[in-house]
Structure 1
Amino acid sequence: MYSSFISRNGNYLGLLLANTVLGSAMPMLIILGGLAGLMLAPSTALATLPASLQALAGLVAAAPFSLLMGRRGRKAGFVTGVFCAVVGALLGVLALYTGSFLLLCSAHLALGAALACYQYFRFAAAETVSAEWQPVAISLMLTSGLIAAFVGPQMFIVAKDMLAPVPLAGAYAALAALSLVGLLPLALTNLPAPTNGAPQSFKERLASLSVLKRKPVRLAVGLGAVSQGIMVFLMVPTPLAMIGCGFSEAVAGDVIRWHVVAMFAPSFFTGFLIKRFGVHPIALIGLALLIVSSIAAQSGLTSAHFYGSLVLLGIGWNFGFIGATTMLANSVSADERALVQGANDTVIALVSTLCAFAAGAIIAGFGWVVLAAVSLGLLVVATAVFVKEMRVVA
């Protein structure tokens, strides 16, 4: 089933391979941001600044990358993203050799922009296949995250001491090499040319954003933001909450590992479920799973509660996020893609950033149970709105 689909779509295969290779940078950067920051920061309070700037860069770069792809094509946009990754990785090496915290922050700004660019592989995938196969194409594209979850950390372990005696510099150098390798399958693809006409003025672009008021588009953007935001809201403070409950770092890390597996493993069949039953029912199941995840998190502080909650959180995110991406791909014309997709990913990045900061404040001030209760309340409201809007769209 999968092999026949991929074999009939050579361009899709190229995108899938490129995304798998380039996406392996993400888990490496989760590890590197904190460790390198701790090494070079003038105070421990600033140790997480490179990782925070990386997230900020993703927020700022999402829309410009989409507009670039709309004007110059997907391939030009992805090549630019790879260029940002290579520059960022080399700056990381230089920062560690010179002991410059400023250079390290600059490195993660460039790397954050690259990660934002790679998010558009899911939309590019939908454009290489017929409309009926779009959910499958989007879903299978996200399976690359499952591979990255295992390849990225292993690459970090192998490469981190390659440039000894400077610790971690080898991992940044490996990121640069990995990015260049990711260009090879991308070079073999023949992606559709951009369909946008003459460049729009700022006023015309602003007027074009009125497409976001359309109910199907508004529903897709809202669903994607809720799915991603709640996932970040519960995932980010999980290790801190578990350690506070007396669990070891190894157990907390294992919970996150299975959460990541749950996020991406369902992608092997989510697209086929959407193709069989429709996007709205699958998206609604995703929201229901997120609700059950919040209830499980609120119900106890044993390892079983944490494992169960985070696995359900991952599956719920998968159904909701793939559902939202499919809905958006089906709701806009070729001329609207660049602007709407850029706005969509900017909204998602903004909500994710706000949820990450809010989660940190709530877990520090009120604890895990209150955090879970807040997520449950937000999800109940979001699900009620989704059901109401879905009936209108239907």
Structure 2
Amino acid sequence: MSSTASPTTARTAPDAARAQRRILTVLVSAQILSGAGLAAGITVGALLAQDILGSTGLAGLPSGLFTAGSAVAAIAVGRLSQRRGRRPGLAAGYLTGALGSLGVIAAAVLDNPPLLFAALFVYGAGTATNLQARYAGADLATASHRGRAVSTVLVATTLGGVVGPNLAAPTGALAETLGIPHLAGPFLLAALAYALAALVLAVWLRPDPLLLARALGDTGTPAASGTAPEPDRTEGSEKGVAVGGLVMALTQLVMVAIMTMTPVHMHDHGHGTAAAGLVIAIHVAAMYLPSPLTGWLVDRHGRLPVAAASGVTLLAAGALAAAAPADSVVLLAAALALLGLGWNLGLVAGTAIITDTVPLATRAKTQGAVDVSIALAGATGGMGSGLLVAAASYPVLALAGGLLAVAVVPLAALANRPRAEKTR
């Protein structure tokens, strides 16, 4: 009896591989655009709130608000993706982010703090969608390439994320010519970028990666050719979700807290918007640019070792930010680069852990729920950062964040213990 595969099965795997390449191309295009929208709030959100409210203590509130908004959006995008697929879920999320950007501009023109806070909350949908897109990149990937698929989507954010902050001054000048406050200028770019990202996904993300993955799963056909080695697995999907979620939530909390107050710290010590934009651009580049290497490390050496490395890297970032003189743009940029790298290590490792352990039937819904915890952690970091700096100082915030991040190391070690004991 012949053991060769049927013609239908033989065709399906190459077709899925071609679909995966097309899907990654479309996701990369959308991520380049969305990166610019994402960077706007990071660069001037805290400064805009400080300008309107006249208070440093509440400067971390915008970051907390749009991160809290991203928590709500993560649920909505995850559930819509679960029911209808990634294409409508991601497109709707980016369109909501564009509407929030327009709301921020209106609030700045009207000098209306309540409207600003509401608009920043809605703007957070863009942040949630930018992160949810990484899951779409992994839907059709085999376990041996899952980290690299996630990293391909993440690294695409680099271009927009680096260009965006450096356009803070030019977009501010454009805003002034239109009768809009200078600090609201980057949100003009955010509105356009998020709207274009939504359009790209709505038109070209076909076939839908999640729906195709389900169809292939129903027929028992692999999403791509090649044999995948067994990934690092914690005992049971619930434990895997908990470990992956905790790694990403903790790294998000520390990253957002330090990142949010760095532009304010620089502004208070005489640095202009251009200098703050440069430091944030370097930070955003470090958040996404190392993704290909991180993805390779996750696939080659395992999820949990890379997760542990994120905690060590964030500790180094916090220590350097705390020790850096306030007038040293170079050292602050180096600290923020390490901060971005530590976040990247934790996000890629945590995403791979989650995707490894969640079945296709509930994947998008579970991923959305996990991203809620990440967003809430970021909101806590953003809102608490301004209060801590007002009560103590920026160096205290940075060092405390670095020490908190070290908790990832024992978490990864404990998660790996049952698997290590089994192999003895």
> Smaller-chain TM-score range?
0.7 to 0.9
Q: 1:191 aligns with which of 194, 199, 208?
A: 208
Match of 2:350 among 300, 304, 324: 324
Whole-Å separation in 2 of the counterparts to 1:47 and 1:20: 28
Aligned length: 373
CA distance in 2, matches of 1:75, 1:221: 24
TM-score normalised per structure 2: 0.76
Structure showing greater relative contact order (alpha-carbon pairs closer than 8 Å, 6 or more residues apart): 2
Q: How does 1:72-111 map to 2 (within 5 A)?
A: 72-92=84-104, 94-95=106-107, 102-111=114-123
Alignment of 1:334-349 (within 5 A): 334-349=360-375
Structure-2 separation of matches of 1:362 and 1:96: 26
Q: Is structure 2 residue 251 aligned with structure 1 residue 227?
A: yes
Change (3 A) 1:212 1:352: farther
Q: Contact 2:253–2:377 (CA<8 Å) still a contact in 1?
A: yes
1:221 positional shift: 0.8
Q: Indicate if the aligned counterparts of 2:251 and 2:405 stay in contact, CA closer than 8 A.
A: no
Pick aligned residue for 1:140 from 147, 152, 163 = 152
Task: Verify the 8 A CA contact 1:212 1:218 in the aligned structure 2.
Answer: no
Of stretches 381-390 and 174-183 in structure 1, the one that deviates more from structure 2 is 174-183
Q: Any conservation in 2 of the 1:96–1:166 contact (CA below 8 Å)?
A: no
Contact 1:18 1:182 (8 Å CA) reproduced: yes
Question: In percent, how many aligned pairs have the same letter?
Answer: 28
Q: Give the match for residue 128 of structure 1.
A: 140
Instruction: For 1:167, give the aligned amino acid.
Output: I
> Could you tell me how far apart the structure 1 residues matched to 2:401 and 2:99 are?
38
Q: 1:87 to 1:315 in 2, by over 3 A?
A: closer
**Mapped partners of 2:163, 2:348: distance in 1:** 23
Aligned to 1:273: 297
Unaligned runs of 5+ in 2: 1-16, 216-234
Q: Is residue 2:271 matched to residue 1:248?
A: yes
Q: How does 1:158-307 map to 2 (within 5 A)?
A: 158-160=170-172, 161=174, 164-167=177-180, 172=187, 174-186=189-201, 187-189=203-205, 190-194=207-211, 214-242=238-266, 246=269, 248-249=271-272, 253-299=277-323, 301=325, 303=328, 305-307=331-333
Q: Specify the SS of the correspondent of 1:143.
A: helix
2:180 counterpart SS class: coil
Return 275-284 or 219-228, whichever deviates more: 275-284
Give the conservation status (yes or no) of the 8 Å contact 2:134–2:154: yes
Q: Is the 8 A contact 2:66 2:120 kept in 1?
A: yes
TM-score relative to the length of structure 1: 0.81
CA-based RMSD of the aligned residues comes to 3.4
Partner of 1:44: 54
CA distance 1:101–1:335, change in 2 (3 Å): same
Q: Would the aligned equivalents of 2:303 and 2:349 in 1 still touch at CA under 8 Å?
A: yes
Q: Displacement of 1:25 after TM fit?
A: 0.7
